[in-house]
Amino acid sequence: MISMTPVLLGNSFPLSLIRRAVHIERRALEELREAVGERGCLSYWGHSNTLAAAREFLGFDPTPSEGRPVLALNGDLLPAMNGVAFDEVWVLSPDYAEGFRPKIDREVTPEQILGWQVLRLQFSDN
């Protein structure tokens, strides 16, 4: 059975919210597009300066409904946003030049992003 929970999408995922077993794997962009087409998307994208580059790559707009939405853990230790819990999270992870480390006090510019990786995090039953 396919879940009808919207796809939860962001540009990173905080390790502080992993409190269950999780499986992370690269997935095809088309798989993410299909899931968003079927279920819709709830975005927690945190960096507005990279939204245009992400939108171009994705073929849909990952702009969240509010600025820097907050993720939290629910009672079952699953990531939740706006009262909805998710057993999977999709991350569009940027590729940078080898050895590049973003500066602590500066946002990454779209020009520093060489490409993207689509990752799916699936949280196991504990």
Q: Which domains does the chain have, with CATH numbers?
A: 7-123 (3.40.50.11170)
User: What does the pLDDT read at residue 3?
Assistant: 63
Which pLDDT tens digit goes with each residue over 94-120?
998 888 887 788 888 888 889 999 999
CB 25 within 8 A of CB 120: yes
For the stretch 1-14, pLDDT in tens is 456 899 999 999 99
Contact 2, 38 (CB under 8 A): yes
User: Percentage of the chain with pLDDT > 70?
Assistant: 97
Burial of 119 (0-12, 13-18, 19+ CB in 10 A): middle
